[in-house]
Each structure stands twice: as C-alpha cells, then as structure tokens.
C-alpha cells in the first residue's frame, strides 16, 4: 500500500470520526468513541499496519501524519465531552434550582402619621400665604423659652409650663415660641415683614392621661410688620379653621390672658359635629375651643430689639394633637403615641 493510499485512509477515518463525535449527544458514547478510535486495536493502528510496504524514508512521514490525526481526534473528543458535561450540569441545575425570585410576603406602603398629616396641612396653608417655616432646638435656654416671651423669673405663669430642666439655664422647651424669639432677633425688617410658623415637639412635666402628655406638638405663628391689626389675626385664624375643620366653619374670639400677647384671646371654632347647634362634643354650646392668640406684647418686641412704636404684630399657638383629636373624634391623646397599626391605619387620607 502506497503512502498516498495510507494518507487517504487516515483522512477518511478523520472525517467520519469527527462527524460521529459531533453528532454524539451522550457522554458514555463519547467515551466509547475514544476507546474505539484511539485504542491500541483502533482503526488508526489498523491503517498503520500498511506501513510495512513503505520505504524507510516514507514511514516517518506517515507516522507523523497519523499522530496529527490522533491528536485532532483526541482534541475533538475532549471538546465534545466538555460541552456535553456543561449541558448536563445546566439541565441538572435547571431541574434542582430554587427560584429565589418568588415574591415574599407583601409589604404595605406606609403613610405619614396622623399628626404629621395635620402639621403638613397647616404648613401647606401658610406656605401659600407667604410664611416661612422655621425650626429650632428642642433643648433650649431659659432666656429664650421664658424671659424673651415676657416671662421673667418667678413669674407665676411659669408654673403652667413646668418642664424638664437640665440645669438652671437649660431646659426642654415648653413651647415653640423661642424659635420666634431667635428669629425676631435676626430678622432684617428693611427687607420686609416677618411671617413665620414654627412647628415641632414641646415638653412639659404633665401627668399623662387622656388629654395630657409630657410630650406633644405645637405650631406657633408670628407676623411682625407695620399696621398689623386684630382683623388680620382673625382672618388668618378663620383660614386655619376652614382648612382643618371644613369650609362651613366659623370662629369667635374670647378675651383671655397670655404673658406674651396683649390683648390676648381664646379662639373657638363652630362645632363641626352639630354645625353649631349644640351636641355632646361641644357640650351643647355650639363652639369648641381650639387655640390661643393675640397681638404681640410690646415687651416681647423690645426685648428682640424691635421698635414697638413702629412695628406690631400677632401671634398664635395651636396643637396639632388637639386638632387631630377634635377632627377625628379621638378621645385619648395617648393613642397617637402607642404605634398601634389598627389605630393609625384608620387615617389613610391625608388631612
């Protein structure tokens, strides 16, 4: 058998073997092919027996060509085995995998706390009227909390605001009024009037019960300008009442006393339960007390460095906790702070 014949037989073997390897879909059959094609009794060995008819110069040529064919088949078998093992592993993983993308327990969307809803409604109203919202420290100086509000030391009105003292001069604020005092000191009236509200938490040493808490919220408002009158105050508070309690609400002002305002008034709103006719909510009076207000006391202006002969203004303070209790018929202020979802989720609509 000639050199050309042997090479043709080896090429034919390689062609058929590669086709068979490519078509094999089973790992066991690939291993069987390896033994069949590359074993000592395989077709390559059988073809190489024809080398005895070749000359000594031709035998190395056919031997080298046969090794190349063997190497090509070995590589093809290894690649096919690797590919089939990857396919087998993928199928196994597909069959045994845990779908971690399955949805878990549904998480309900949250909402603002009912007191935050009321505060937000009030802030939105006053922002629309050109007021600024000012924050201040909850740990406050006695000077700003009391003295700048016309409450000197030993003033009897301090007893109504007994609070938590850190030392003789530092305390937990009893009202958000000190934010107003700090703002009045800094305000440049050459650039326009001062119109502000100061929402936030305040602290008083009260015994917690259905209507009292040692911690609660306030929103205090202040306007300082030239020619401010009680009529401006009443119109502002009328807007508050209609926004929180409904468009049909009316207010009335009753004389009262606060150290930082003169004259001072208590503000009532017509009962939203009975529309002013008289019921258990308003104690048959047709009116519900909601906040305190008044014209800023000249002493407060002077202590802030403001000329009381030129400027005047009004101030008011309301409790969002009380507003929420009245509006929604809550009879115990402690419900707002117990984090009971059964209670809080009743107030799904803002305001």
Q: Which residues are part of a known binding site for Mg(2+)?
A: 262
Q: Which residues pair with 165 in a beta bridge?
A: 171
Q: Residue 157 has which token pair?
A: 């009105």
Q: In angstroms, rounded to a whole number, what is the distance separating the alpha carbons of residues 239 and 213?
A: 28
Residues annotated within a binding site: 262
> What is the DSSP secondary-structure string of 25-72?
--HHHHHHHHHHHHSTTSHHHHHHGGGGGS-TTTHHHHHHHHHHHHHH
Q: In angstroms, rounded to a whole number, what is the distance separating the alpha carbons of residues 163 and 176?
A: 13
- Give yes or no for a contact between 151 and 184, defined as CB atoms under 8 angstroms apart: no
Q: In angstroms, rounded to a whole number, what is the distance separating the alpha carbons of residues 178 and 67?
A: 97
Q: In angstroms, rounded to a whole number, what is the distance separating the alpha carbons of residues 31 and 92?
A: 21
């Amino acid at each position: 058998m000639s050199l050309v014949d042997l090479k043709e037989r080896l090429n034919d073997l390689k062609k058929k073997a590669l086709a068979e390897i490519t078509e094999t879909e089973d790992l066991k059959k690939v291993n069987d092919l390896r033994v069949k094609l590359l074993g000592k009794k395989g077709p390559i060995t059988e073809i190489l027996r024809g080398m005895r008819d070749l000359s000594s110069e031709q035998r190395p040529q056919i031997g080298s060509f046969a090794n190349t064919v063997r190497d090509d088949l070995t590589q093809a078998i290894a690649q096919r085995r690797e590919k089939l093992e990857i396919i087998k592993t993928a199928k196994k993983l597909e069959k045994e995998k845990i779908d971690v993308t399955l949805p878990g327990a549904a998480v309900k969307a949250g909402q603002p706390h009912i007191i935050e809803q009321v505060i937000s409604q009030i802030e939105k109203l006053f922002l629309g009227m050109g007021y600024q919202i000012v924050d201040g420290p909850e740990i406050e100086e006695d000077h700003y909390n009391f003295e700048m509000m016309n409450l000197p030391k030993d003033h009897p009105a301090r007893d109504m605001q007994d609070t938590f003292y850190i030392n003789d001069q530092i305390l937990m604020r009893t009202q958000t009024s000190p934010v107003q005092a700090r703002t009045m000191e800094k305000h440049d009236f050459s650039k326009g009037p001062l119109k502000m509200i100061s929402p936030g938490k305040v602290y008083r040493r009260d015994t917690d019960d259905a209507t009292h808490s040692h911690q609660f919220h306030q929103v205090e408002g202040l306007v300082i300008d030239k020619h401010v009158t009680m009529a401006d105050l009443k119109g502002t508070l009328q807007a508050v009442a209609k926004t929180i309690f409904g468009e049909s609400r009316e207010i009335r002002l009753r004389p009262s006393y606060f150290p930082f305002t003169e004259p001072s008034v208590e503000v009532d709103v017509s009962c939203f339960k009975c529309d002013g006719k008289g019921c258990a909510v308003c104690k048959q009076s047709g009116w519900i007390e909601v906040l305190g207000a008044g014209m800023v006391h000249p002493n407060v202006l002077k202590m802030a460095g403001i000329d009381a002969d030129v400027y005047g203004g009004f101030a008011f303070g309301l409790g969002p906790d009380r507003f929420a209790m009245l509006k929604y018929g809550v009879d115990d202020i402690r419900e707002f702070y117990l984090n009971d979802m059964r209670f809080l989720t009743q107030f799904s609509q803002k305001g």
